[in-house]
Structure 1
Amino acid sequence: MSAAEWKERCGAEWSLRGAPMPDGPDWKAVYEAKPFGRNLLKNPNPQGLCKDTPPPEPPMSEAPSHGPPRFESDGDFSGWTTNTEVLPFDTSGIPEGAVICQLPTYSWFSMEQIVDLKAEGLWEELMDEFQPEILVQDWYEESQLHKFIYQLHVKLLGEDKRTVISEHTVNPTEDLSVYSHRWKEVSHVFSGYGPGVRFVHFLHRVKNQFMFDFFPTLFTGSSVIVRPTKTSA
């Protein structure tokens, strides 16, 4: 197929009505990259879980392990940059003079990725003029571990990877009076974000607890998906 034929095929299959399609891009490479409708995050389920199956109940040991404290979740986190922040003990609710035998230790476990939109097959004119919708989605385990167990921060970045063109933050508060132990969805659609977007920075954090045993907050189904839909300002 000629370059013009690859270009025509891309426009027809993705229904890019009104989208700029200059002659500059390698349209065969763009077509083979399949930039629309697929998850652009690498290794989106590092804990091997699926949102269509309820999260597993934490194992209950017959006796505390009394082993060294753990702060990081299990999984294959290739493709992610991870970080662990151990939090100080919270003694705000303990009466003065009370004897403390054991306090839970909490930690934030952070995972982040940067998606290069041009490397994934999207072209500059499309991002600057057409501005397709960018859907961000994540699922985390509802639990009674703590009032705050999940955070999400997504930024649309410019060419220098420092300029923030648009961003979205989620920091939900959990209802500790109800225990349904299900997956909770977090999602957002970026639209009308303006020209210059070249990267998506995806960062989420889950809170883990150690008290005799390790109790993590599980997550699954992290995704960044570009849709061939024109956005409105």
Structure 2
Amino acid sequence: MGSNDSRPSSPAELLRLARFDLTLLPDELLLLVLSFLPSRDLVLQCRLVCRRWRSLVDSPCLWRLKCGRRWRTSQLEALHGCPNVSWARVYVKEPFGRNLLRNPCGREQFQHWELRHGGHGWRVENNRSNLEGAEDQRSFVSSFNWCTKWQVIDLLKEGLWKELLDHHQPEISISDWYAGRSDCGCVYKIHVKLLAANKRSVIEEFSRTMEPIPQWNDECYHQVSHVFRNYGPGVRFVHFLHEGKDTQFWAGHYGARITNSAVTVTLPK
């Protein structure tokens, strides 16, 4: 082929140049064809082809098809009973089953976290023992006074919607992992609150101060987890906070090592 050959620059152009005239397809079949294209191409390219294509791309039917390929049937059946489902929002935002906390292991240092330093403050270090399944083998390390950090998750911005949260109340699961250094004991706390729209009213909360890890420990990670169920209407934010310190009051960073924090929302069954 010569260097001057023009090539399709997008899936939409590729479809327009196809031998078969797609305008002859009924809407049901054209929807099926379009549903195999990436969402970005659908929005930025295919919507511009013609009014008919724009209408099909904007229809919930197309995005329901795409959701059907991504999630299990049981999960989709649960959504069918929910009011005002935006299938495009569900597909693009992916609010179910993913970790809504950002930077859970310190890969981005302290980005997305609010910090309160104690002693010599927080630091990010490589894990001293491997944590299987973690997205990154790093941890946040506390010091000789309480070091605290937290994130506030806006559930609506993450792709959920009011009717789902208020009437169907999907499970909100939290998980965290903490460990100590072999030569120094430590203490760990967690406090998670489900907040109303004003970010102050607490609808439900979970709090634990775990048993101190003794000096001369095996450095293995311990998990703390909880599932919020039947929490009632009005939840709009999740306030996730944890803190740690060492028990020897040593200068430096010998306190609780925290990593792989998670907040996930599971579709109602």
TM-score by length of 1: 0.70
CA contact (8 A) 1:44 1:222 kept: yes
CA contact (8 A) 1:157 1:201 kept: yes
| Identity value in percent | 38
Partner of 2:201: 163
Name which one, 1 or 2, has greater alpha-carbon Rg. Answer: 2
Deviations 1:35-91 (A, max 9, x none): 001000011111x4xxxxxxxxxxxxxxxxxxxxxxxxxx7101000002349xxxx
Q: Which of 68, 83, 94 in structure 1 is aligned with 2:116?
A: 83
Partner of 1:145: 184
Partner of 2:145: 107
TM-aligned CA deviation for residue 180 of structure 1? 2.0
TM-aligned CA deviation for residue 170 of structure 1? 1.1
3-state SS in 1 of match to 2:117: strand
CA contact (8 A) 1:3 1:26 kept: no
CA contact (8 A) 2:175 2:263 kept: yes
Residue identity opposite 1:165 in structure 2: I
Task: Give the distance between the partners of 1:216 and 1:198, measured in 2 at CA.
Answer: 33
Q: Which of 76, 85, 94 in structure 2 is aligned with 1:34?
A: 94
TM-aligned CA deviation for residue 225 of structure 1? 0.4
3-state SS in 1 of match to 2:90: helix
Partner of 2:105: 45
CA contact (8 A) 2:180 2:255 kept: no
Task: Give the distance between the partners of 2:214 and 2:249, measured in 1 at CA.
Answer: 18
Higher relative contact order at CA 8 Å, sep ≥6: structure 1 or structure 2?
Answer: 1
Judging by fraction of residues, say which structure has more strand.
1
TM-score by length of 2: 0.61
Does 1:21 find its partner at 2:60? no
Deviations 1:118-138 (A, max 9, x none): 000001111111111111000
Judging by fraction of residues, say which structure has more helix.
2
Task: Give the distance between the partners of 2:178 and 2:251, measured in 1 at CA.
Answer: 23
Deviations 1:178-209 (A, max 9, x none): 72210000110111111111100000001146
Does 1:4 find its partner at 2:4? no
How many residue pairs are counted as aligned between the two chains?
184
Task: Give the distance between the partners of 1:135 and 1:212, measured in 2 at CA.
Answer: 35
Instruction: State the Cα RMSD in Å.
Output: 2.6
